[in-house]
Amino acid sequence: MDLGITGKRALVCASSKGLGLGCARALAGEGVSLVMNARTEGPLMAAAEAIRAKTGVDVVTVVADVTTEDGRAALLEAAGDVDILVTNAGGPPPGMWSDWNREDFIAAFDANMLAPIALMQALIPGMADRGWGRVVNITSQSVKSPIAVLGLSNTARTGLTGFVAGTARQVAGQGVIINNLLPGIHDTDRATALDKGVVEAQGVTMDDARAARQGTIPAGRYGTIDEFGATCAFMCSQHAGFMVGQNILLDGGAVNTTF
Ligand code: NAP
């Protein structure tokens, strides 16, 4: 299928590794030029160079923390008039509901709610003026079904989801399509870090921790970043113009719901 986005330009936040990298690679594969971002220079440069070599698209890199105002200013300056925005950042640490104080909540809000909202507020007006735009926010399955140890994620991402639900319907008429993409467990550094937490807490091996988690996924495995990126690219495509304010779950069936 031709996604119809060759020649478009995308800002993909937090994209040197993991799910953001999967999205960047898939968009580049469709001929979309990129602004890629991470806080650590080496892996970002390596990821960008690999994409340039494979696809030939133009890739600009911005070493910045997307959760800070200065970081977002640098990203927005490099992004200019982008057609596509993929928001992403690292996830908050695990813990119990009683562990977190005000500062912990504010850090989670900054990363997983306020940063994507600020980027949308900055970039949607230009997309609307030009009559075309796509926004995909990487959130989590935790907005559909809470994950007990990820209360900070449950809280912050649900706030973002509410903002998107209202905003997507206000800008769709101007050609700007906003949706959220909800990962279940995918094979990334983040999943490995969470599995290590289980190893430490329960005294099991890494293989046992992973097997136990895979047992909770009807598909029987972790998702791949390429599968995730392909779905993201479709949501950024010409064909997604009637998909407004949706929360698309990619979880191998892990969340047990009818709708
Ligand atoms: P990952 O493999 O750890 O990759 C995170 C990427 O984001 C890296 O490129 C990292 O580079 C960059 N990054 C992190 N914090 C950043 C910041 N403040 N500013 C700019 N770049 C930043 O993580 P992932 O698994 O792809 O997860 C991405 C998001 O999806 C997270 O919010 C995670 O909680 C959520 N999620 C993941 C899963 C899963 O199974 N993987 C499931 C549900 C939700 P630097 O460290 O160099 O900045």
Residue 64 makes CB contacts below 8 A (sequence gap 6+) with 37, 39, 70, 71, 72, 74, 75
| Single pTM value for the model | 0.97
Cα(45) to centroid(ligand 1), Å: 16
**Interval between CA 84 and ligand 1 midpoint (Å):** 19
Distance 31 CA to ligand 1 centre (A): 24
Structure tokens at 215: 């047992």
Q: What is the pLDDT of residues 97-130, one digit of tens each?
A: 999 999 999 999 999 999 999 999 999 999 999 9
User: What separation in Å is there between the alpha carbon of 14 and the centre of ligand 1?
Assistant: 6
* Cα distance between residue 109 and residue 31, in whole Å: 33
Element (H, E) at 67: none
Residues with CB under 6 A from ligand 1: 14-20, 37-40, 43, 65-67, 88-91, 138, 140, 183, 185-186, 188-191
pLDDT digits (tens, 9 = 90+) for 118-177: 999 999 999 999 999 999 999 999 999 999 999 999 999 999 999 999 999 999 999 999
